[in-house]
Amino acid sequence: MSLLFSPLTIGETTFANRLWVAPMCQYSAVDGFPNEWHHVHLAQFASGGAGMVMAEATAVSPEGRISPEDVGIWSDAQQAAWEPIVAAIHSRGAVAGIQLAHAGRKASTWSPLTGERGSVPPALGGWETVAPSAIAFEGYATPQPLDLAGIDHVVATFAAAARRAVAAGFTVLQLHAAHGYLLHQFLSPLSNHRTDEYGGSFENRTRLLRRVVAAVTEAAPTAVVAVRFSATDWAEGGWDVEDTVRAAALVADMDVSLVDVSSGGLVAHQKITTGPGYQAPFAAAVRVGVDVAVSAVGMIDTGVFAEELLEHGDADAIMSAREWLRDPHFGLRAAGELGDDIAWPPQYARARRR
């Protein structure tokens, strides 16, 4: 059996394999509710051999949505809407995860499905955004700096969302501290110019993340709590790999048991060098420097390449995104590439051999 299709145990949770579905926004919700599209979209990956299926960035509050069409979990009714989706993932043998998110200054934007770019004005269904500082993402509206009461509210919404997520059946809760969204905005000196206890030093800029981690682990003690980091801003003077390793060590000491390593998204002037597995070295740096399970993501689109990254020690698991969109049975295909004899859904067994 390959490493990719060997089980991985984190805490009390065992994943059948290490090829997972990364969160991918669908911009298809109404009032934050997941619907039939989300049900079919996510369940198909579990049928296709994924060890974990993670739901897209799910807003912890209405103002935390990236776009008006984003899903949320700020109400009991939304929790109920997620429950059959989670059950469908579990019934097909995969672990269900959810990414809990607040978009901060990158909220209230047009869905990319509309072809528009920039902030949605309040008259058309948008809202005023918040951030650590009144610094706009290029082309977006200027956000309102959060005061201390506003920060307390953010922490409380993450905790409430975590409780609802566990009640809906999710096993893994990933806190989105990457891609230029609110928690990442507090981490990076490029977007955080505060002069209070939430700005300036590394300790202060990580304070909100640490508070959210503490609140979520207390609210959901049975969950696998994960954090997604952007390992670098790809911009001078920004958050970098060394910062990520330090922050990962801090949250690992607070019962975070999985760190997912991505990059970028904070500023429009970022200079990214991409290529197959281009973020794997960042994941490796965290895995070497911190005693925590690590997943790698970024242009990993074959089973053979995923296996090479695991054999090299870059990560404990692989997150893929677009390859699952191209082929919802990527897991079954990757196992075939590696010669692994994994279980197929019995309904599909007739297609197993050509």
Q: Residue 184: its pLDDT value, please? A: 99
Is 260 a domain residue? yes
pTM: 0.97
pLDDT at 170: 98
Q: Does any domain span residue 152?
A: yes
**Contacts (Cβ under 8 Å, ≥6 apart) of 182:** 64, 101, 102, 103, 104, 105, 130, 131, 154
Task: With respect to residue 339, please indicate whether it lies within any of the assigned structural domains.
Answer: yes
* Domain span at 64: 8-351
Per-residue pLDDT tens over the stretch 107-146:
999 999 999 999 999 999 999 999 999 999 999 999 999 9
Distance of CA 124 to the CA centre of its chain: 28
Q: Phi, psi (5° rounding) for residue 106?
A: -100, 20
Q: pLDDT tens across 80-94, in order?
A: 999 999 999 999 999
Residue 278 lies in a domain: yes
* Catalytic machinery residues: 181
Backbone angles phi, psi at 84, to 5 degrees: -65, -30
Number of domains in the chain: 1
Other beta carbons within 10 angstroms of residue 84's beta carbon come to 14
List beta partners, residue 53: 21, 96
**Token pair recorded at residue 57:** 């960035």
Instruction: Give the tens place of pLDDT for each residue, 268-297.
Output: 999 999 999 999 999 999 999 999 999 999
CA distance 111 to 118: 9
Instruction: Give the span between the Cα atoms of 103 and 137, in whole angstroms.
Output: 11
CA–CA dist 68, 227 (Å, integer): 24
Query: Residue 146's domain is classified under what CATH number?
Result: 3.20.20.70
Within 10 angstroms of residue 113's Cβ, the number of other Cβ atoms is: 12
Residue 1 lies in a domain: no
